[in-house]
C-alpha cells in the first residue's frame, strides 16, 4: 500500500492585524497597540499615551516619591518604636541606642540626697516620689537620684543597706567621713562624685536634703536655661535677699556645673575648709576661688514649708510654679504637699482597694 504524504500545515496567522483602507492586512510597522493613539494623521512619530496608560506609568513614580519623602526619613524612628515595643527590655544596649537616636536628653543631672543610713522609711518614700516622676515622659533631661551617707557603723546597717543596694542600686556609701552634715560630708560627696563619674560626667550635680520635695519636670525646665559651666544655682541666703551674689545658696538644694565639681575635688581652699556649715562653706569656696560667676536664684520657686507662724521669708505657701518644698519633716507634711500637687492623679479604680477621701 502507498502511504499518502500529509499536506504541510498552514502558515501561522498574524495575530496583530490592522485594517487600512480596503481592509487588507497592514504593514507590521503600522500596528497599533490597544490604548495607544497615533501622532498626527500621517502615521509617523512616536505613539501618544492615553489617559489610562499615563496613570499606570505615574502611579509607581508617585509611590516611590512617597516612600522617599515620608517613609525613609522616619526609618530610625520606626526602628526605635519596634525595638522598644518588641525588643529587649529598657536599659539594654540595643534599645537604649535606638531610643537615643530619636530623642537625646538635653542634659544630665545627678541629684545626691544626703541622708542617714537608718532612715529606711524616708528613702522608701523618696523612691516612690522620684520614681514616679522619672518614669513619666515629662522629662527632657537624664536625671539620676542617689542616696548618700557615710560609712556604715552598725551591724544591722551592714545587712539592710546592702539589701537596698541589691534591689535599687541607688546608694552611695562615702568612705572617709562621719555621719554629720557639717562635718565635711558635702565636701566628701562632691569630691567623690568627681572621681566616681569621671568617665561619664554629668552636666550638673545637685546636693539635696532628704526633707525636700523636688518636682523634677519643673527643676529640669529651670536648669535647661542655665549655662553648662561655672554655674551655681539655688535659693539665695539670706531669705530676704534675691541677689545670688550676696552670700550663698541654701543647703536645702543647690546645683553646681560639672566643672565646679571637678574644681572642688582638687582645690586646696575646699579641702582646707571642709568642716562647718556646709552650704555656707560651698559659697566660701567659690568666692575664695573666684568661681561660680554664673549664679542663679531660684526663689520663690524653691522655698520652705509654710509654718503656722512663719520663721523667715524663705517660707511661703505652695504655688503651681513650685520647684522644691523644704522642711517636710513628717509624713503629714509630705502628704499635704503631694495632695496639693495632685501627685496621685494617675491612680486607677480597682476592686483590690478603696481609697476614701
pLDDT score at 48: 67
C-alpha cell at 194: 568627681
- The model's confidence at residue 26, banded by pLDDT at 50, 70 and 90, is very low
Could you please state the CATH topology (level 3) that the domain comprising 108-340 is classified under.
Spore Coat Polysaccharide Biosynthesis Protein SpsA; Chain A (3.90.550)
pLDDT score at 37: 45
Handedness of CA 82, 86, 87, 90 (dihedral sign): positive
- The model's confidence at residue 47, banded by pLDDT at 50, 70 and 90, is low
Which position has the higher pLDDT, 26 or 284? 284
Rounded to an integer, what distance in angstroms lies between the CA atom of residue 61 and that of residue 57? 7
pLDDT, tens only, 212-250: 999 999 999 999 999 999 999 999 999 999 999 999 999
- Candidate from 91-105, 143-157, 229-243, 263-277 with smallest mean pLDDT: 91-105
pLDDT score at 179: 87
Q: What percent of the chain has pLDDT over 90?
A: 64
Give the DSSP H/E element, type plus range, for residue 113. Answer: strand 108-114
For 128, the 3-state DSSP assignment is: helix
Per-residue pLDDT for 172 more than 90? Answer: yes
pLDDT, tens only, 185-204: 999 999 999 999 999 999 99
Assess contact for 127 and 170: CB atoms under 8 A. Answer: yes
Domain residue ranges of the chain, discontinuous segments joined by +: 76-105, 108-340
pLDDT score at 90: 44
pTM: 0.72
Closest CA to 186 of 232, 251, 238, 233: 251
Amino acid at each position: 500500500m502507498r502511504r499518502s504524504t500529509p499536506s504541510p500545515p498552514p502558515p501561522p496567522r498574524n495575530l496583530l492585524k490592522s485594517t487600512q483602507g480596503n481592509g487588507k492586512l497592514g504593514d507590521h510597522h503600522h500596528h497599533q497597540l490597544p490604548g495607544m493613539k497615533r501622532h498626527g494623521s500621517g502615521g509617523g512619530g512616536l505613539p501618544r499615551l492615553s489617559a489610562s496608560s499615563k496613570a499606570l506609568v505615574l502611579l509607581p513614580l508617585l509611590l516611590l516619591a512617597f516612600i522617599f519623602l515620608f517613609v525613609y526619613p522616619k526609618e530610625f524612628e520606626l526602628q526605635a518604636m519596634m525595638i522598644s515595643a518588641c525588643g529587649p527590655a529598657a536599659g539594654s544596649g540595643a534599645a537604649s541606642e535606638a531610643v537615643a537616636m530619636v530623642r537625646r536628653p538635653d542634659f544630665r543631672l545627678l541629684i545626691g540626697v544626703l541622708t542617714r543610713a537608718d532612715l529606711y522609711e524616708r528613702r522608701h518614700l523618696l523612691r516612690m516620689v522620684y520614681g514616679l516622676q522619672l518614669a513619666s515622659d515629662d522629662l527632657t533631661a537624664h536625671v539620676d537620684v542617689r542616696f548618700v551617707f557615710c560609712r556604715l557603723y552598725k551591724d544591722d546597717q551592714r545587712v539592710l543597706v546592702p539589701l537596698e543596694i541589691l534591689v535599687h542600686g541607688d546608694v552611695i556609701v562615702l568612705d572617709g567621713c562621719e555621719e554629720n552634715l557639717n562635718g565635711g560630708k558635702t565636701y566628701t560627696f562632691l569630691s567623690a562624685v568627681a572621681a566616681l563619674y569621671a568617665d561619664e560626667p554629668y552636666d550638673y550635680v545637685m546636693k539635696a536634703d532628704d526633707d525636700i520635695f523636688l518636682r523634677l519636670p519643673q527643676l529640669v525646665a529651670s536648669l535647661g536655661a542655665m549655662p553648662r559651666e561655672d554655674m551655681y544655682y539655688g535659693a539665695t541666703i539670706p531669705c530676704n535677699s534675691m541677689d545670688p551674689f550676696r552670700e550663698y545658696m541654701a543647703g536645702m538644694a543647690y546645683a553646681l556645673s560639672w566643672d565646679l565639681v571637678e574644681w572642688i575635688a582638687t582645690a586646696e581652699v575646699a579641702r582646707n575648709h571642709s568642716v562647718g556649715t556646709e552650704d555656707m562653706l560651698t559659697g566660701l569656696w567659690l568666692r575664695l576661688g573666684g568661681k561660680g560667676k554664673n549664679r542663679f536664684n531660684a526663689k520663690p520657686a524653691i522655698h520652705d514649708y509654710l509654718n503656722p507662724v512663719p520663721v523667715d521669708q524663705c517660707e511661703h505657701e505652695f504655688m503651681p510654679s513650685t520647684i522644691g518644698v523644704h522642711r517636710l519633716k513628717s509624713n503629714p507634711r509630705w502628704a499635704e504637699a503631694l495632695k496639693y500637687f495632685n501627685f496621685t492623679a494617675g491612680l486607677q479604680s480597682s476592686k483590690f482597694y478603696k481609697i476614701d477621701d
